[in-house]
Amino acid sequence: MFLHGLSHRRRGGGRLHRAGGSQSSHHKRQRLASVVVLDRLLDDSYDRAVRQNLVPLTVTRIVANTGYRFAPPFIAIIAGAEQGFDVSIADVGVIISVSELAGFLAPLLGTFVDRVSRRTAMAVGLAGAFVGIMLMAIAPNLVVLCVGLTLVNLLKSCFDLGMAAWISDRVPYERRGRVVGLTETSWALSLLVGVSLLGLVTAVSTWRVACAIGGVSIAGCALWLDRRLRESGEIVRAASHESAPAGKMTRRAWLVPISMFGLMGGAQCIFVTFGAWLADEFDFGASRIALVGFALGIGELVSSTSSARLTDRIGKERSVALGSLLMIPSALLLAAFDTWLVVGLLGLAVFIIGFEYGVVSMLPLATQLVESAPGKGFGLVIGVGTFGRGVLTIVATTLYEDRGIAGAALSGIACAVLSAVAVSAFARTTRRA
């Protein structure tokens, strides 16, 4: 792509000012470096635009996911009197829950994504996420905080849907697991790097400053990604196989959203309470919670890369079931040893690893539920999963205040069982079909 641009400039007369030439050479070197790195991950059989834009897509999603994931680990600080609103953890839990429930509108966003260009969908999503996180930064009360969080959660989903549809257009279903697995390292890296850094910012300043930094980062990455996607040209639709009739889902396909409800709802039971557990039980502050987040991010990264290597090989449905089943004993360990820091953290880490492996393996399934409308199927699965997060946020924070982290962990186990049963039933009916 950049060689084409260079030849075009030469045909225009070959006159380049020294400063402009230097800047152009710098951009070329950056792009060449990203292509060289990704050529080791994706061979030439993958679409050239996919290989060229995998880094911008992944980095932008790291930043967007950071804004999305920042609030739950620091719920105790946002609720507290020193930096926050001087309310209970359950009160902030309700705010997070309301913002998550708005994600149930994701199927409507999926329809929007399928009607506009993928680049437009991603741009709208990032713009909305920017506005939302900046509202969080200046929120004078819980109502404005709720509006900001809702915008981040809902419009970040629009970006995710546009990105998933962009990949679906260019990568055949049977090879999609690897590409999705690589881009989904953004979820792990958002916790490993993004949330950890914002946690350190919170420790030395306030969570509001951290939100503002997150907003500026989203805006910068949005401009960078939009420029790169504009250069990629028209979308080429990928061939697919074994799909439902155009625009419709089969009855068995609804088992996939149900599985995602359990998977994401179960994970939320722990995500929304582990920071408060560390603060209440072991007197952790923002910097130490950020350190735990960093360690958990390493586990998520291992899961994402493992999914990229293994999901297409061992089967997407089986991978989701394995991830869900891994969550069960680890949550039980956390519930049984919640006063033992090392054992509790071990259970927490394995739980996160299981969830991450399962959810990354689920995403290629979601894009294939509705033929010629990957955004619609993906939006439905994400919407139901987000609805699960919203419902379980209220359940988990209420149980936490009554029973501690053990209560939240047990609700997570129930959700993981639901996820494993649903996806296993989907796999059985698929084989029969």
Do 194 and 65 form a contact (C-beta atoms < 8 A)? yes
- pLDDT tens, position by position, 200-209: 999 999 999 9
Q: What is the pLDDT of residues 212-222, one digit of tens each?
A: 999 999 999 99
Domain residue ranges of the chain, discontinuous segments joined by +? 49-432
Which CATH number is 49-432 given? 1.20.1250.20
**CB contact set of 264 (below 8 Å; sequence gap of 6+):** 359, 385, 386, 388, 389
pLDDT for 374: 66
Instruction: Write down the pTM of the prediction.
Output: 0.73
Tens of pLDDT, residues 69-88: 999 889 889 998 888 899 99
Mean pLDDT of 345-363: 92
| pLDDT tens-digit map of 314-349 | 888 999 999 999 999 999 999 999 999 999 999 999
Which pLDDT band, with edges at 50, 70 and 90, does 264 fall under? very high
Write the pLDDT tens digit of every residue in 395-428.
Answer: 999 999 999 999 999 999 999 999 999 999 998 8
Task: With a cut of 50, say whether residue 2 has pLDDT above it.
Answer: no
pLDDT of residue 241 exceeding 80: no
Residue 392 pLDDT greater than 50, yes or no: yes
User: What pLDDT score does 380 carry?
Assistant: 85
What pLDDT is stored for residue 313 in this prediction? 84
**One-letter amino acid of 252:** R
